[in-house]
């Protein structure tokens, strides 16, 4: 086979239409072999002849897309000093665009023998590990266009490729659970009808199935165990053909874009699937362990772990930073994704030990002309010291607002002394973001996510029920801020069923009526349950998949969800891009402020009202005529003004509407007490109420009133 010198950049395997350039970074390597693997497993080893700047490279004219390959890196094996080169281990390309197969847990994958851990294991791992695949980069994107939704207009839908589609009856069985299923009209029609503007896909980077889970008959369902930062996960491909997952992923993105839906990826750049010193040698460990991982300074045999997974990537290494930035740019430019949610993002800010918002990673993102222009969402915590960083990320970033989640849960389960913080959270969390020049859109508001209870389970269980995970209940969050409404788990008690349904509507309404960017967990609009399991990371089965066989109450919930999302979409008052100022005439010509808080008696809230631990109810006025920001054409934004009445109390509370200055007439737009199976709302859209009117707001409900005479809407 002809071997030409090739080029050191770009890293990875790059097909140009005639042949393939291979380039691999390793500073510690003394010799690197490129291994070409035939379909029958036959291996051909070729020494990479050139090395520039610690990048080993070659060009092979004969190599075409579909070629399987790996690397064997020759160099020192001194774990005590951090070096772990073992040429007996066939290694993945860190820049592989596609990966074939899965690891099988064989002893050859490890640097030690299971029964003799002190003895070095030099068994060959070929046949037991995953293989890199050369891909064809060419794809007909047609007229693909990024939707480009502004944050304030966005409604994000967190979804799992397999979990969302595996049971959908209108998706052909042979493609369920795949990228092709996500692109199927039945799935896209559901997303469009719900009104979401973006899907945030749980990890689709190639991940590894943990041996200890497979041994128990379980799998890594969530996928937070990445090994390939450029490769779409191969198990989500409907064809099973090597390298075709790339084309199928692109087709999915194109289909979602055609429906005006953005694609955001949940990415895991904080650690890899190789784990700690007892983990397998699959890629980075054998290529250049010290360059890729954070090691314990005084004991380089062990890994410094702020992720709880066994290792952390070395964020002060220029090669790690290059890997991450190259990966991000690849997914934007070649795969056309619209943004990223960064798992355990505080770890990315740890150049040394502390979390530093001025770290090199943030600097690189800030100045990058491609990555800086897409949606960047941080999970602003990790498990290390000082890792909880809600409100601590730089201005370019948005954050999962964990304090929003906790406060809204507490408010609706009836916890005292939550009213003041509840008001801060639903008005945009200025206390968290204004100090850094950020705006309400910095807050990704969520009440439920993949990690924890579904919304239905949040109102049905006080405790987690994770027996199926086989960990004796030790896994999963124990403090869920949930309330079962009187009975643990499923029940046929009509009153409790009706109360749970109302609480579900209360949570959805609060989420969509809050300032910031709402995120809905897939299936919450359908009443999906995990039967009390709040940690289904290993449950790739019907416990975690969305069940599309809907009961009548579930169909009603879906219609309610569509209605409340539509209300948010139609009304600028719920989509502010700037924090409230509270001043009359601010941003418009209104004689009253842009926001006002009232007690249920109709007077403005006082410090005493806010400080009263027994006070649970509140009424908020949102002025649609006092929105300071112009639209994209520079025209002034106006819309309806609203009163939103929150009553989490267990009894009906009478609310008195405020004085005439805030509005002459008020009409109902949404009432969560209208539950179709329990207490029917006394309000209809034909009703109209004047200033000073006394309205009985049902227990544990939200009433949304719009200003203006009948016939306006």
Q: Bridge-partner residues for 653, per DSSP? A: 697
Residue 705, H or E segment: strand 701-707
Three-state helix/strand/coil letters over 607-654? HHHHHCCCCCCEEEEECCCCCCCECCCCCECCCCCEEEEEECCCCCEE
User: Which is catalytic among the residues 288, 343, 556, 571?
Assistant: 343
Q: How far apart are CA 321 and CA 539, in angstroms?
A: 33
- Specify whether the backbone of 633 is left (phi greater than 0), alpha (psi in -120 to 50) or beta: alpha
User: Beta 50-52 vs 55-60: how paired, if at all?
Assistant: antiparallel
Q: How far apart are CA 447 and CA 503, in angstroms?
A: 12
Active site residue 475: no
**Phi–psi pair at 447, nearest 5 degrees:** -110, -35
* Angle 448-159-543 from CA coordinates, rounded to 5°: 75
Q: How far apart are CA 548 and CA 176, in angstroms?
A: 13
Residue 563 CB burial class (10 angstroms; 0-12, 13-18, ≥19): middle
- Specify whether the backbone of 110 is left (phi greater than 0), alpha (psi in -120 to 50) or beta: beta
**419 SS3 class:** helix
User: Which is catalytic among the residues 379, 594, 609, 674?
Assistant: 379
Q: 480 with 452: CB under 8 angstroms?
A: yes
* Tokens describing residue 216: 């128990």
Q: 393 with 387: CB under 8 angstroms?
A: no
Q: How far apart are CA 70 and CA 96, in angstroms?
A: 9
Q: How far apart are CA 648 and CA 619, in angstroms?
A: 12
The dihedral through the CA atoms of 345, 349, 352, 356 has a sign that is negative
Active site residue 651: no
Cα of first residue to Cα of last residue in the chain, in angstroms, is 73
Task: Supply the residues annotated as catalytic.
Answer: 343, 379
């Amino acid at each position: 086979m002809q071997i030409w010198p090739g080029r050191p950049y770009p890293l990875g395997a790059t097909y140009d239409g005639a042949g393939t350039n291979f380039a691999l970074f390793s500073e510690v390597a003394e010799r690197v072999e490129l291994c070409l693997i035939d379909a029958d497993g036959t291996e051909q080893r070729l020494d990479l002849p050139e090395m520039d700047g610690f990048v080993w490279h070659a060009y092979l004219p004969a190599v075409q897309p579909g070629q399987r390959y790996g690397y064997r890196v020759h160099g020192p094996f001194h774990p005590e000093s951090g070096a772990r080169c073992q040429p007996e281990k066939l290694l993945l390309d860190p820049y592989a665009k596609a990966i074939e197969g899965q690891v099988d847990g064989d002893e050859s994958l490890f640097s030690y023998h299971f029964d003799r851990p002190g003895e070095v294991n030099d068994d060959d791992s070929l046949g037991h590990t995953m293989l890199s695949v050369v891909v064809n980069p060419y794809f007909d994107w047609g007229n693909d266009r990024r939707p480009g939704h502004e944050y304030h207009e966005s409604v994000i839908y967190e979804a799992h490729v397999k979990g969302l589609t595996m049971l959908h009856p209108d998706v052909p069985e042979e493609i369920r659970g795949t990228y092709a299923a996500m692109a199927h009209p039945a799935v896209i029609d559901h997303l469009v009808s719900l009104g979401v503007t973006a899907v945030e896909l749980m990890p689709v980077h190639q991940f590894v199935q943990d041996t200890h889970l497979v041994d128990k008959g379980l799998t890594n369902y969530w996928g937070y165990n990445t090994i390939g930062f450029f490769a779409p996960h191969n198990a989500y491909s409907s064809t099973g053909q090597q390298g075709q997952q790339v084309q199928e992923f692109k087709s999915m993105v194109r289909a979602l874009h055609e429906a005006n839906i953005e694609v955001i990826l949940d990415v895991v750049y904080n650690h890899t699937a190789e784990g700690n010193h007892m983990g397998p040698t699959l890629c980075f460990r054998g290529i250049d362990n010290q360059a890729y991982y954070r090691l314990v300074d005084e004991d380089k045999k062990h890994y410094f772990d702020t992720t709880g997974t066994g290792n952390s990537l070395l964020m002060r290494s220029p090669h790690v930073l290059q890997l991450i930035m190259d990966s991000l740019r690849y997914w934007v430019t070649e795969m056309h994704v619209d943004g990223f949610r960064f798992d355990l993002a505080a770890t990315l800010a740890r150049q040394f030990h502390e979390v530093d918002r001025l770290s090199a990673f943030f600097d690189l993102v800030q100045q990058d002309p491609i990555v800086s222009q897409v949606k960047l969402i941080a999970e602003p915590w990790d498990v290390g010291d000082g890792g909880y960083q809600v409100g601590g990320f730089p201005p370019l970033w948005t954050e999962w607002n964990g304090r929003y989640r906790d406060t809204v849960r507490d408010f609706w389960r009836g916890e005292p002394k939550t009213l003041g913080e509840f008001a801060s959270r639903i008005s945009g969390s200025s206390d968290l973001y204004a100090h850094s020049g950020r705006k309400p859109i910095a807050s990704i508001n969520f009440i439920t996510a993949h990690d924890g209870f579904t919304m239905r389970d949040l109102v049905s269980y006080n405790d987690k029920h994770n027996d199926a995970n086989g960990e004796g209940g030790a896994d999963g969050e124990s403090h869920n801020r949930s309330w079962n409404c009187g009975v643990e788990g499923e029940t046929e008690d009509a009153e409790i069923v009706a109360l749970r349904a109302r609480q579900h509507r209360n949570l959805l309404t609060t989420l969509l009526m809050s300032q910031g960017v709402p995120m809905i967990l897939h299936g919450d609009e359908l009443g999906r349950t995990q039967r009390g399991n709040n940690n289904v990371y290993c449950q790739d089965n019907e416990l975690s998949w969305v069940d599309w066989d809907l009961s009548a109450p579930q169909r009603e919930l879906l219609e309610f969800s569509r209605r409340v999302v539509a209300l948010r979409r139609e009304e600028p008052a719920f989509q502010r891009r700037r924090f409230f100022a509270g001043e009359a005439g601010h941003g418009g010509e209104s004689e009253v402020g842009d926001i006002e808080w009232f007690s249920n008696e109709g007077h403005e809230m006082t410090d005493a009202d806010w400080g009263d631990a027994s006070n649970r109810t509140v009424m908020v006025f949102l002025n649609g005529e006092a929105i300071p920001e112009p639209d994209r054409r520079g025209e002034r934004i106006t819309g309806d003004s609203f009163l939103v009445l929150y009553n989490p109390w267990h009894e009906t509370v009478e609310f008195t509407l405020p004085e005439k200055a805030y509005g002459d007439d008020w009409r109902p737009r949404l009432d969560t007490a209208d539950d179709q199976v329990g207490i029917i709302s006394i309000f209809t859209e034909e009703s109209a109420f004047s200033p000073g009117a006394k309205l009985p707001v049902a227990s544990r409900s939200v009433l949304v009133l719009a200003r203006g005479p009948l016939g306006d809407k």
